[in-house]
Each structure stands twice: as structure tokens, then as C-alpha cells.
Amino acid sequence: MKAENDNIIEVDGLTKRFGSLTAVDQISFSVKGGEVFGFLGPNGAGKTTTIRMLTGLLTPDSGKAFIDGFDIKKNPIRAKMKMGVIPETGNVYVDLTAKQNIILTGKFYGINRRELEKRADCLLGEFGLYERKDDVVRTFSKGMKQRVNIASAVVHNPDILFLDEPTSGLDVQSQRLIRKIIKEMNKRGTTIFLTTHNIEEANIQCQRVGIINKGRIAAIDAPENLKRIFEETQSVEISFNKPIDSGLIENSQFAERIEQIGDKWKLYTDNPDGLVKYLAKLAQEQGLILTSMQICRASLEDVFVKLTGDNPIR
């Protein structure tokens, strides 16, 4: 049964248990066609279990998931034809060449040989691998292998692309290239379902993010809306011309929490104005030169920490 609304992914009460552990506990959400949806959560929160249920690798104990209207439990093959998957632990065949990997994947989707050759060459060019197309993947770097992985996953022009930590452990160039490709695929109409530990990546790329914690959905909204919920979590980032002792700024009545980030200090506050004035006065008294100072709104990372801490706000 095809969905009549514009949701391409619909999840309703999805639950998965492993023995006594409930890895995913009655989660429900939907993703609109053409959306870039980020799925965030700390390790063991249930991200991979959710993605494995959505892609038909794991059978849910209860609840339903629809991919473009197809029930993944009842119609796994039809649902899988709609998607491309880059699993967290998914590697390409290192004994095959880059081109052979792409062509092999295409065959699973019934693309004819001539069309496959054309698409493989095109993708290899797009992913910067054309010169190495006939080399076995064993000789590739991790970033190049991941590019082959993604090129293979999109050879059939899927409507939905599931990516489980796609840039984890990759060099900067590969990360940027993969982000660019994801963006371009989304422009062409592909829905992106992205799980990542990299909150900044989700902040930049995703139109909406879902945060999962201990198997339950803690929040789902646009990054900016989520940040607005935590307006009180503002901070002042400051750096001086020379290292200072934390005790110097610790006593401020305005700062609730202090964090050292490299050569900078981040002071969380609900009164940034008072804190800035206090810090300026302190610098003058101590003969310190302010090399940078800025007031920061709550970041997506702050929201994530708040939601996935010991006492998550639901």
C-alpha cells in the first residue's frame, strides 16, 4: 500500500529487544520526501538498530515502518529497491575493482549491462575514482573505499539514501567530497537519512534532526528550533593573550559552568551581558589583553548534551 501523504519514511511504535535489553522502545517519526533527516544519539542509544530495522536487516518485535508506502516487514524487497544503504560496518569487496563493485551492486537492482557501464563510469568520475577504476579496492585508502561504497549504493538512483556514520574516521578531503555528493543527491530529489556522531555535520546538512537516547526519541525538530528551546544555555567564548589559571574566572557569579577549549574558555551563562562586562573588567584589572570574545547561542551540541544527559528533557 503506497502512502498517500508526502512522507517517504513512516515509523510507528517501532520496538526491538535483545534479550532483556530494549534497544529501541516504541519510536515513531516520519521523514518527508526530499528531506535531509539527521538521526543523532550517543553510542548504544539505538541509532544503528533503528537503521537496521528501516533497511530490513532486523525484524522489529513490534511496530511498523513504511518505506515509500511499502511495509518493510511484509514487502522487504520492494522497500529495499527504493533505497541505497551505506551501513556503519559495510565494506565493499576488496578483491574486486572499484568498477566491478559498482556494477555488481547495479545487477542486484536489475539494471542492464550497457546502462550499468555508463552509470559506473559516470559515478567513478563524480567520486574522483575514474583513474583507479580498474584497481582492486584492497589497494585503496579508507576514504577511497568509502567513496566506492557510496557510489555503489547510489548506482540505481535510490529515492532514499540511508547513511550510517558515513564520514566517520575519514580524512578531511573525503569528508568534504562525501558531504558534497550527499548535498547534490538531495538536490536531485533523494531523501537522505543520516546518522552521525558529528553534530556539526548534522547542524549544517540536516533540515530536521531526531535525537534518540536509551532507545526512545528525545526530540525531533529543525536544528534551529531545537536550539531555541535551550535559549538559557548561552555562553561566552573568550581568549586572552596568555594562559590564565581557571581560578581567575571561576569565581564569576554569572558563569554556571566553565570549559576550556584549546586556548579558549567557554563560560555558560543565562546573563551574557553581565558576564561580558565582568570579564572585560577582570581583564583590565589583571593586565590581560582580550584576543577574542563572543556571545554564543546554544549549539546543537549543547542541545544534544542536554537531551542525552543523565536527566534528559522529554
Partner 1 sequence: MPVRNLNSQFFRGVATVTEKNMRIYYTKPPVIIYGLLLPLIMFIAFYLGRDIDFRFFFPGLLAMFLFFIASSVGPLITPWEKRAGTYERLLSFPVSVNTIILGDTAAGMIFAIVINLVVLAAGLIFLHYSLNVLLLTGGVLLGAFCFASLGVLLASPAAPNPSYIMMASSLIRFPLIFISGILIPLEKLQGTVRVLSYFSPISYLVDILNFSFGGHAQYPLIFDFAMLFAFSVVFIFLSNKFHKRNLMKGL
Smallest separation (angstroms) from partner 1 to the CB of 129: 18
Grid cell in block for residue 116:
550499468
Residue 111 in contact with partner 1, rule: CB under 8 A: yes
Q: Which is closer to partner 1, CB of 138 or CB of 281?
A: 138
Smallest separation (angstroms) from partner 1 to the CB of 260: 38
Smallest separation (angstroms) from partner 1 to the CB of 200: 27
Residue 73 in contact with partner 1, rule: CB under 8 A: no
Q: How distant is the alpha carbon of residue 67 from its chain centre?
A: 19
Smallest separation (angstroms) from partner 1 to the CB of 31: 18
Among the residue ranges 2-10, 33-41, 86-94, 176-184, the one whose residues contact partner 1 (CB under 8 A): 86-94
Smallest separation (angstroms) from partner 1 to the CB of 70: 10
Among the residue ranges 27-35, 103-111, 123-131, 301-309, the one whose residues contact partner 1 (CB under 8 A): 103-111
Residue 33 in contact with partner 1, rule: CB under 8 A: no
Smallest separation (angstroms) from partner 1 to the CB of 58: 7
CB 84 within 8 A of CB 162: yes
Q: How distant is the alpha carbon of residue 217 from its chain centre?
A: 15
Residue 122 in contact with partner 1, rule: CB under 8 A: no
* 190 contacts: CB under 8 Å, gap ≥ 6: 34, 154, 157, 158, 159, 160, 161
> How does DSSP assign the chain, residue by residue?
---SSSEEEEEEEEEEEETTEEEEEEEEEEEETT-EEEEE--TTSSHHHHHHHHTTSS--SEEEEEETTEETTT-HHHHHHTEEEE-TT----TTSBHHHHHHHHHHHTT--HHHHHHHHHHHHHHTT-GGGTTSBGGGS-HHHHHHHHHHHHTTT--SEEEEESTTTT--HHHHHHHHHHHHHHHHTT-EEEEEES-HHHHHHH-SEEEEEETTEEEEEE-HHHHHHHTTT-EEEEEEESS---HHHHHT-SSEEEEEEETTEEEEEES-HHHHHHHHHHHHHHHTPPEEEEEEEPPPHHHHHHHHHSSS---
Q: Which is closer to partner 1, CB of 108 or CB of 309?
A: 108
Residue 16 in contact with partner 1, rule: CB under 8 A: no
Q: Which is closer to partner 1, CB of 67 or CB of 276?
A: 67
Smallest separation (angstroms) from partner 1 to the CB of 294: 43
| Options 25, 32, 64, 96; binder of partner 1; rule CB under 8 A | 96
Residue 19 in contact with partner 1, rule: CB under 8 A: no
| Options 99, 156, 208, 306; binder of partner 1; rule CB under 8 A | 156
Q: Which is closer to partner 1, CB of 59 or CB of 286?
A: 59
Residue 58 in contact with partner 1, rule: CB under 8 A: yes
Q: Which is closer to partner 1, CB of 91 or CB of 173?
A: 91
| Options 26, 42, 81, 117; binder of partner 1; rule CB under 8 A | 81
Q: Where does this chain bind partner 1 (CB under 8 A)?
A: 52, 55-58, 76-78, 80-83, 85, 87-96, 100, 104-105, 107-111, 149, 156-158, 162
